[in-house]
Structure 1
């Protein structure tokens, strides 16, 4: 019989249970056994069977697809323990995944998912059953009861519903069949982990079939909260899917699917380790002591990386939004994290209270196909998707070491907040709250003629609405709101609800309503020049219309509710496409060879920056990005099917590539130019029956060719001409010599402490003139705001920072080298009817940068991982048992980090690999 992948399922065998992330199986992932989807097995045939994919919207074996695509069948997903998107990283070359607090970034060849909720476009498109999901659960959900997962690399706009410049992740679920069947899996592991999933497939009538699948996961967190002794980053997830299949004749097929997802646990950015080398601020500037004004020049944390022995401190809270207000109004003149250090264990942190993470999504899809003539099919794909999530938690950075002093605003030293309770010290809460709705309709006409010419053409309409709220609260802000209201006049409405209703003015919120309406005509034409030479030509016309209604800042403003900026509207209309040539020569030294080359142009829509960004004089919109992509590759089957060797080379030229940074407590997206080039090798060998060896090697070279930015966390760029100053809207730079001169006048001290420096020269001069003669104030102000060339300015006249030329820098989270090697050996256990498969996997990626600035403190060091598993299977009874270990060496690998907003303290928040995980999974099929 055909040689099955050891330990994986053929049509008469049970599927291997879910479990370990025994990664690095691709291109086993690309050529994994899929007996149920390949040609019938013949006796005395050995070799590696090819998986059937629909990457080009038609069924074909993966080795015949002339594009770079990795495909994972259900058997390979389970055998490798690829339970979610983050695991795919270690199974596909040049792919990375980062948890970014409230967002997840899946990157293909250095190109990632959306940077802004006000864009509606992704660099990597996420699809389920070909439905584009602008808002999705790729970072939270796990794969269950899926037919396969396909990951396409490169621009895909001519076939897929949305513009994806980097690639597409398409999760294809199992459809109901006419045979009664089912399966159940129970997995138990350390950290109290319990994972359950299964399905039942049942025919209802001769033409109607039903499939019901479910998934559940409960586990303790991997992070210990030293304040409570409890754990953080736990999981409590449930998901279910119902699919109805209707086939009244051989020419009509229709499917209705509903999928629900629910999560309620303490997954939180606060559960991630925060590191800092405290910045006290300069004790002197140009030889002049700063004295009491030292705190006006602190950046919270110094410019350091995340690997030093000195980074286990805490931010200087006097640099934060609340800290500046606290020192200004005498609520807390000291750093509330004074002399505070954190544990050196990366899986230990301090969080006040229990972080909240609640997520709910509902997806409805209806797909139908009608064969209207011989070789001609019309299809419709309709979807409706709702997503809602609440993310709220402590953002203080540790339990404050200094209590509030007795003061006029806090006569008993206690601050009262409806949202945070009664506290004797500074506390921060922050959160993100989203409601998204999407409707899409796609129509296609596709041919499968016997002749040389075929086509796949259609159109798609998509309507997406998103309501997003960014929330920051602190005990200091609430105290000031109460104090201002007590003075008389129109009071500030103080939200009395423990869970904010977002009508209060006692907290910061960035509130936006975003609408996207998109229509596109797209398709591809296929022509066979000869039996071995084929040409594909594709094109797409996209019409995107976007609207934004953003709220003005209402923090500490009298009254209640929101006040809005004028509605913004923009549109983009673009034509893109691709041309592909593939050749299947007959060679004496291979069983089958495919050589292909393609050139394509991709587009990703522009969008809006927050009105709070435009308020300080930066652009209110960002431009669409374009990529011209060249790809060449070859796929080869050799040694009578026992060896697969695939190689891909690519070059991308990006114009207006979108990058993001923080401005005025909001995300600011701007455009740069960059190139991306690389090579991907994927190989699998089966030298003897039962032994399989696979390897992936990805080389990636990214280079920014044009672009200037201000580094929010290194505004001076080391230029001693300038000194950093903090402010409630973020930082700025001042002339060091001018500040040194001004510091010699005592009248300057209260003006600097009063948060006036970054509000611009006019505000600073006016505040100073109330204390000294106007002429003197003007002279000192002119010296402080004296700037040379190569400086970027806010609209108020203060300097945002020294411009950094990004030319030559690398894109973030884009390691030059990724290597994965795996091996497995399968054998029978005598005449017992049981077989066993032992497997091991090794993954390593090279050094990368956490940010596109490539500063000296942006390094992410190389890291590696080892997984192992042992599978026992008894095909005759549909039983299988899996023992697994993930992260065998129990390393806390730092795979990336973010730097928090200046107004939260600029601390480094780590992304760390999971600890060593042990478990056993049992599957019974019927």
Structure 2
């Protein structure tokens, strides 16, 4: 009730602001010089003003987007930069895990299903590796909160992060940007586009990112051997517009990543505390983990992907027929010294001080090193839809969608050897949505979708071939193929009521589902695959959107409540670090979000976003294995099997609050330039890392800040700036591994640099 009261108070405050300034807005004959620009979105697969869409949406563009990625960060940098959005990974720069309004999935397998969908240039990126495609030459990011199962598919029970890149035009335009920073950080990107012939235009965009290795392996005496990366990516788009009625957009893109996987750091948490201890050293680890017996492998990571899409649009008799065909491919590998340290027991293993060293740092009962390989990922999607024109009292769209993917995951363990599992997934859907303009103020939108989903898993013939098999500690297992299928309806209804030309109220009910999931990772450790049934969500939200103070203040708020039946969870841990899919009876989430942007003066612009997300698992019989090492401190009641009872716990990796603020102050220089200072800060509230609660694996108050000081020349279209990311050099716990010691994952260190950009 306290949470709902806060939400109601937020809406009341906005309503009061609205009432105080309505007269001034209505009487204004012209917008002030510093009025905020109108933001358009395509959250409903139509171009609309963000203030007219009856969904809670936030956007990132311009300074807010560019600053986040100036230090060479990947897509994970979006975490907490938008209210209600969080992201983390234990797979380095690939396989990000997104959470929205507290709902996500902690599964680290390359076949994991995620309830937050990533859509890039109208193409869903379903596999976790595809979700990590680098961001460059991006026009707009839309964070669409809540289930979006009507228009976007079956695995969007939490929401969508939608990226739209800059498209070709007939005008010659482009940019070149170079950023250099400490640790050998280099960020180079650029684009050029122009008309080639009448009706034919193209745009080429490229990205090159680098960071030198800066982390020493103190065990092998190798300096600057880990922590770096090299990543190249490209995008070529060709737009053909032979007439006003027809256009075709071809998009060809690819990436090549070679770097370091996540850095696992052994025993950086002391039993009973969630504070980093002296075992944590920013630029040093102790690794001996290797797969082939030739010495420490130092956590390498390499991935390649490429894709092509073709979007066709045909205007006919007040309707638009759209077809989007896409194909994506990816391959790669990541290796990790999972125990995060050294476990040695032979007397000849002597450290550099001449003493017998058994484990370091801290107690590590056994070595653990694994490698995951993604082979021959193929994703094909086809969408076709027919939509009416926007300028009608009744607008509609109907369509069909087809999805097909296949790939294999090879897991290589230093003790059990290699295993391979093959995944296939086929989905088809039909959908429709309609909006009714009841009168000049009230609009009603309804939507429905039927989706049928099929998945299968096949285990390769050789699933154990390592040392465990040789010594008789393991045997080759015989697994039957797994096939599951399900078909569900998703639906929604929403209303938008205009209070006046600058403010509106909205309400929305949405139902969605996440298809059943198969997990085969435990095959690598002689465990059986697991299956989770489909989950369904019912979500309610109400909110207000308004442009106040002569359109210099934009204030959007939403209050939400959702319930998920048969919520899918990943039970990760125990003494074998098993990864099993389970269903809980239900999960509940509620809270609110506030997005604000204020052009306070001609020179000062402020933004702020805040979210409160209260989540709770509701299943009185749900029990999971706590840490297998015995070195953590479970706070939950344990059953007679030593399992933690997690009924009432928050969802894992669900920050209870997020806060982000930015400020930009500009000082004019002459008639054609300005000097500016820009800063951005993000704060992450109380977060529980695992399903069970412990004294160690939780965080509260994590924050990072950024700074840019620069000069921009408008006449000659260039800018130069000094930048800093994580400027206070915070060391924040981002994740953990609990099965044989208190291993942690920490954020990136402080990056300083200089960046220059020229536009034409």
Fold-level match, TM-score > 0.5?
Answer: yes
> What residue is the counterpart of 1:584 in the other structure?
498
Give the direction of change, closer, same or farther, for the CA distance of 1:106–1:148 in structure 2 (3 Å limit): same
State the TM-score, normalized to the length of structure 2.
0.85
Check the 8 A contact 2:250/2:311 in 1, yes or no.
yes
Give the direction of change, closer, same or farther, for the CA distance of 1:104–1:617 in structure 2 (3 Å limit): closer
Three-state SS of the structure 1 residue aligned to 2:253 is strand
Between the aligned partners of 1:191 and 1:715, the Cα distance in structure 2 is 36
> Among residues 588, 597, 611, which one is paired with 1:698 in the alignment?
611
CA shift digits 1:398-450 (9 cap, x unpaired): 345543569xxxxxxxxxxxxxxxxxx99654210012111111000111154
Give the direction of change, closer, same or farther, for the CA distance of 1:57–1:806 in structure 2 (3 Å limit): same
> Among residues 640, 644, 648, which one is paired with 1:804 in the alignment?
644
> Among residues 466, 469, 481, which one is paired with 2:410 in the alignment?
469
Superposed displacement of residue 305, structure 1 = 4.3
C-alpha root-mean-square deviation of aligned residues, in Å? 3.1
Question: Which segment drifts farther, 670-679 or 228-237?
Answer: 228-237
Give the direction of change, closer, same or farther, for the CA distance of 1:139–1:57 in structure 2 (3 Å limit): closer
Q: Which runs of 5+ in 2 are unaligned?
A: 1-29, 288-295, 350-364, 632-637
Check the 8 A contact 1:844/1:863 in 2, yes or no.
yes
> What residue is the counterpart of 2:635 in the other structure?
none
Q: Which runs of 5+ in 1 are unaligned?
A: 1-41, 278-301, 313-342, 407-424, 478-506, 719-788, 792-800
Check the 8 A contact 1:113/1:125 in 2, yes or no.
no
1:908 matched to 2:743? yes
Between the aligned partners of 2:31 and 2:568, the Cα distance in structure 1 is 54
> What residue is the counterpart of 1:330 in the other structure?
none
Three-state SS of the structure 1 residue aligned to 2:694 is coil
Give the direction of change, closer, same or farther, for the CA distance of 1:136–1:670 in structure 2 (3 Å limit): closer
CA shift digits 1:570-627 (9 cap, x unpaired): 10111111110110122xxxx6111100111110011223385799998842111111
CA shift digits 1:456-480 (9 cap, x unpaired): 110101101020011111xxx5xxx
1:921 matched to 2:749? no
> Among residues 53, 76, 79, which one is paired with 1:89 in the alignment?
79
CA shift digits 1:11-59 (9 cap, x unpaired): xxxxxxxxxxxxxxxxxxxxxxxxxxxxxxx996441112221111111
> By percentage of residues, which structure has more helix?
1
1:176 matched to 2:116? no
1:882 matched to 2:721? yes
Between the aligned partners of 2:232 and 2:128, the Cα distance in structure 1 is 15
Give 1:262-301 correspondences, 5 Å limit: 262-265=256-259, 267-269=260-262, 271-275=263-267
1:442 matched to 2:383? yes
Between the aligned partners of 2:674 and 2:627, the Cα distance in structure 1 is 59
Superposed displacement of residue 202, structure 1 = 2.4
> What residue is the counterpart of 1:348 in the other structure?
284
Between the aligned partners of 1:224 and 1:868, the Cα distance in structure 2 is 29
Three-state SS of the structure 2 residue aligned to 1:812 is coil
> Among residues 570, 593, 598, which one is paired with 2:484 in the alignment?
570
Give 1:65-464 correspondences, 5 Å limit: 65-74=53-62, 76-79=64-67, 81=69, 84-101=74-91, 103-113=95-105, 115=107, 117=109, 121-137=113-129, 140-221=132-213, 223-226=215-218, 227-265=221-259, 267-269=260-262, 271-275=263-267, 304-307=272-275, 309=277, 343-351=279-287, 352-373=296-317, 375-395=318-338, 397-400=340-343, 402-403=345-346, 428-435=368-375, 436-448=377-389, 450-464=391-405
Between the aligned partners of 1:815 and 1:855, the Cα distance in structure 2 is 16
Give the direction of change, closer, same or farther, for the CA distance of 1:304–1:711 in structure 2 (3 Å limit): farther
Three-state SS of the structure 2 residue aligned to 1:160 is coil
Superposed displacement of residue 639, structure 1 = 0.9
Give 1:486-885 correspondences, 5 Å limit: 507-551=416-460, 552-555=463-466, 556-557=468-469, 565-586=479-500, 592-610=502-520, 612=522, 620-662=530-572, 666-672=578-584, 673-706=586-619, 708-714=621-627, 791=640, 801-831=641-671, 833-885=672-724
Three-state SS of the structure 2 residue aligned to 1:78 is helix
Between the aligned partners of 1:130 and 1:707, the Cα distance in structure 2 is 41
Three-state SS of the structure 1 residue aligned to 2:157 is strand
> What residue is the counterpart of 2:9 in the other structure?
none
> What residue is the counterpart of 2:3 in the other structure?
none
Check the 8 A contact 2:33/2:602 in 1, yes or no.
no
> What residue is the counterpart of 2:51 in the other structure?
63
> What residue is the counterpart of 1:770 in the other structure?
none
Superposed displacement of residue 683, structure 1 = 1.3
Check the 8 A contact 2:626/2:692 in 1, yes or no.
no
The total of aligned residue pairs comes to 689
> By percentage of residues, which structure has more strand?
2
Give the direction of change, closer, same or farther, for the CA distance of 1:717–1:306 in structure 2 (3 Å limit): closer
State the TM-score, normalized to the length of structure 1.
0.70
Three-state SS of the structure 2 residue aligned to 1:164 is coil
Between the aligned partners of 1:658 and 1:816, the Cα distance in structure 2 is 20
CA shift digits 1:495-520 (9 cap, x unpaired): xxxxxxxxxxxx42332101001001
Three-state SS of the structure 2 residue aligned to 1:77 is helix
Superposed displacement of residue 813, structure 1 = 1.8
CA shift digits 1:836-873 (9 cap, x unpaired): 11122232222221112113333213222222111211
Superposed displacement of residue 87, structure 1 = 2.1
Superposed displacement of residue 557, structure 1 = 4.3
Superposed displacement of residue 711, structure 1 = 3.5
Between the aligned partners of 1:604 and 1:457, the Cα distance in structure 2 is 22
Between the aligned partners of 1:120 and 1:609, the Cα distance in structure 2 is 7
Between the aligned partners of 1:128 and 1:829, the Cα distance in structure 2 is 38
Bigger radius of gyration: 1
Three-state SS of the structure 2 residue aligned to 1:63 is coil
Give the direction of change, closer, same or farther, for the CA distance of 1:400–1:675 in structure 2 (3 Å limit): closer
Superposed displacement of residue 396, structure 1 = 5.3
Check the 8 A contact 2:96/2:128 in 1, yes or no.
no
Check the 8 A contact 1:84/1:139 in 2, yes or no.
no
Superposed displacement of residue 826, structure 1 = 1.2
Give the direction of change, closer, same or farther, for the CA distance of 1:344–1:170 in structure 2 (3 Å limit): closer
Between the aligned partners of 2:78 and 2:644, the Cα distance in structure 1 is 34
Between the aligned partners of 1:698 and 1:623, the Cα distance in structure 2 is 30
Give the direction of change, closer, same or farther, for the CA distance of 1:650–1:426 in structure 2 (3 Å limit): closer
Superposed displacement of residue 361, structure 1 = 0.3
